[in-house]
Amino acid sequence: MKKIIVALVCMIGLTAMAQREKGHNRDQMKDLTAEQIATLHTKKMTLALDLTSAQQEKIKAIHLEEAKARKAKHEERKAKKEEGERKRPTSEERFAMENAKLDKMIALKAEMKDILSAEQYEKWEKMQQHRKKKGSKGRKEGHKARR
């Protein structure tokens, strides 16, 4: 009986440590500047898609713009949270936010199509789909844990 209890405690501890490691990587990214994030994302894409230097420059500019927008949005949410005026968006506000997000995604896709070759673009789309699946899986697991 004691062995079973010890085994369960060890398994729970290991699981908790593994979950903490997943979030740890995101915490490190929060400390980076928008320029550093853009550089890292561009280098990862360069490795995955074998980008030329001209493509790297164009994509780095896109990543920099995205990183700056994300940082600004994060700071805005943080300030609202600290002031205590954070509230749930109305259905109209959620619609507007989702619409704006989809517009940005469409624009990004068009820009990538112009910058990348057909083969690179196809591979990039597959990477995006994989990333989307991975992200939605993590959000679902996180949602279950919060309940």
Q: What is the mean pLDDT of residues 96-105?
A: 94
- pLDDT value at 32 more than 70: yes
Contact 60, 38 (CB under 8 A): yes
Res 140: pLDDT: 58
Residues of the chain with pLDDT > 70: what percent? 71
Q: In which band, very low, low, confident or very high, does the pLDDT at 82 lie, cut at 50, 70 and 90?
A: confident
What's the rounded Cα separation, in Å, for the pair 69 and 49? 25
SS (H, E, C) 57-119: HHHHHHHHHHHHHHHHHHHHHHHHHHHCCCCCCCHHHHHHHHHHHHHHHHHHHHHHHHHCCHH
Res 30: pLDDT: 73
User: How far, in Å, are 15, 30, 32, 113 from residue 26 at the CA level?
Assistant: 18, 7, 10, 28
Distance of CA 16 to the CA centre of its chain: 22
